[in-house]
């Protein structure tokens, strides 16, 4: 048996969910290892939330199954809910309770003593910077409510944690706080399933990533593997004032061996050319010296960046993640 077979915690088997004419999840099969942080990356409407709702036994599949620590989502719901924590995309709190009361209430539902529940609630809320607040949670900001939701999902020490867009709506400081906490959780051998459309989040946190589009897995691997297989080392993004200037640049690129791929994209009525190439800044200078741009005044903007998961998604689908 392979290493992943020996340590599999979740096995998704040809899982499908159809809503009338819409195939929200269309034949997903994935194996997730114990202790792995596994991200499912895709745009809004790709099927991420529907998939997690099936894995957490909220939705019944149209067909297929998933085995979570030996229990089928079709027949073993009672056992599954004992070992999973869920931080949903929609904020779910008891608005007329304070932060500590919310966390303690969830702990009591899992049979945790009142004393231990208080200790756990205090520790978690201190980590998320919302301990000691006396106002009702309905008066919290959206970011604070989302952090409270995460604390509620963690209070009973789940073996598997589902995070559906856990940093949506957070300011950069709160976002980094949540990222740091997720990194700490990885050290505790918790299996984490992260649903996100945030490329940086998936790249920074994930052991492996599945890219989901239109209900199907279109790529699977570590962030590095995906970027090596479906992307290139670097990307030069050039915005032109006129479409004609972009077309001239595309013709010039045909004579340059360094450029491995180029794509024209449309973003807010701008004329943009994405040029992929191997090598670093030295190769970038050579590309520019060979004259893909006849006149610098034709260019509105120019950016150079390393290949990212967004470039992987663009190469696979022909569009950006947020299109």
Q: What per-residue string of b and e applies to 274-307 under the rule 16 or more CB within 10 Å gives b?
A: bbbbeeeeebbeebeeeebbeeeebbeeeeeeeb
Q: Which of 49, 82, 52, 84 is nearest to 160 (CA)?
A: 84
Over pLDDT 90: what percentage of the chain? 40
Residues 86-121: tens digit of each pLDDT:
988 888 888 889 999 999 999 998 889 999 999 999
Mean pLDDT check: name the lowest of 207-216, 253-262, 309-318: 253-262
Give the Å distances, CA to CA, from 276 to 131, 279, 280, 307: 48, 10, 11, 8
pTM of the prediction?
0.77
- Both tokens assigned to 170: 């957070």
Find the helix or strand (DSSP H, E) in which 311 lies. helix 309-317
Amino acid 321: pLDDT: 65
As beta bridge partners, residue 299 has: 240
Average pLDDT, the chain: 86
Looking at residue 144, its pLDDT comes to: 85
Written as six digits, the tokens of 248 are 């001239």
Q: For residue 323, what pLDDT is reported? A: 52
Q: Choose the weakest-confidence range: 164-173, 218-227, 313-322.
A: 313-322
Rounded to 5 degrees, φ, ψ at 293 are -115, 120
The structural domains of the chain, ordered by start, are 3-228 (3.40.50.300), 232-306 (3.30.70.260)
Tens-place pLDDT, residues 285-322: 777 777 667 666 678 888 887 778 888 888 888 776 66
Where in 5-98 does DSSP place strands (E)? 8-19, 22-33, 37-41, 63-68, 71-72, 84-87
Cα separation, 270 vs 9, whole angstroms:
46
Query: Which pLDDT belongs to residue 2?
Result: 43
Would you state the pLDDT for residue 267?
A: 65
Q: Is the pLDDT of residue 190 over 80?
A: yes
d(CA 288, CA 211): 33
- Mean pLDDT along residues 131-154: 86
Residues 40-52 have pLDDT tens digits of 998 888 899 899 9
Distance between CA atoms of residues 163 and 45, nearest Å: 17
pLDDT reported for residue 143: 80
Tell me what pLDDT residue 3 has.
45
Long-range contact pairs involving 289-297 (C-beta distance under 8 Å, separation at least 24): 290/252, 290/255, 290/256, 291/252, 292/249, 292/252, 292/253, 292/256, 293/238, 293/245, 293/249, 293/252, 294/245, 294/248, 294/252
Which pLDDT score is estimated for 1? 38
Residue 72 scores a pLDDT above 90: yes
Q: Residue 159 pLDDT more than 50?
A: yes
């Amino acid at each position: 048996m392979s290493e992943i077979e020996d340590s599999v915690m979740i096995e998704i088997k040809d899982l499908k969910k159809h809503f009338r004419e819409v195939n929200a999840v269309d034949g997903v099969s994935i194996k997730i290892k114990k202790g792995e942080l596994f991200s499912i990356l895709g745009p809004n409407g790709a099927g991420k939330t529907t998939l997690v709702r099936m894995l957490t036994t909220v939705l019944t599949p149209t067909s297929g199954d998933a085995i979570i620590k030996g229990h089928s989502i079709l027949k073993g719901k009672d056992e599954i809910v004992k070992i999973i924590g869920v931080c949903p995309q929609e904020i779910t709190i008891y608005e007329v309770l304070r932060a500590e009361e919310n966390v303690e209430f969830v702990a009591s539902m899992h049979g945790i003593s009142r004393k231990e529940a208080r200790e756990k609630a205090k520790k978690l809320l201190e980590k998320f910077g919302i301990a000691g607040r006396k106002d009702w949670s309905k008066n919290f900001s959206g970011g604070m409510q989302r952090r409270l939701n995460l604390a509620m999902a963690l209070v009973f020490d789940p073996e598997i944690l589902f995070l559906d867009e856990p940093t949506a709506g957070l300011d950069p400081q709160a976002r980094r706080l949540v990222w740091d906490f997720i990194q700490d959780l990885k050290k505790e051998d918790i299996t984490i399933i992260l649903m996100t459309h945030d490329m940086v989040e998936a790249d920074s946190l994930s052991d492996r990533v599945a890219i989901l589009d239109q209900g199907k897995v279109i790529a699977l691997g570590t962030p590095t593997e995906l970027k090596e297989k479906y992307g290139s080392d670097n990307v030069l993004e050039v915005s032109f004032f006129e479409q004609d200037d972009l077309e001239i640049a595309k013709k010039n690129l045909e004579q340059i061996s360094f450029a491995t791929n180029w794509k024209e994209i449309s973003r807010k009525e701008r004329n943009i050319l994405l040029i992929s190439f191997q090598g670093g800044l030295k190769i970038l200078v050579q590309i520019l010296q060979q004259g893909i741009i006849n006149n610098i005044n034709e260019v509105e903007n120019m950016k150079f960046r390393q290949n990212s998961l967004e470039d992987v998604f663009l190469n696979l689908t022909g569009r950006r993640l947020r299109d």
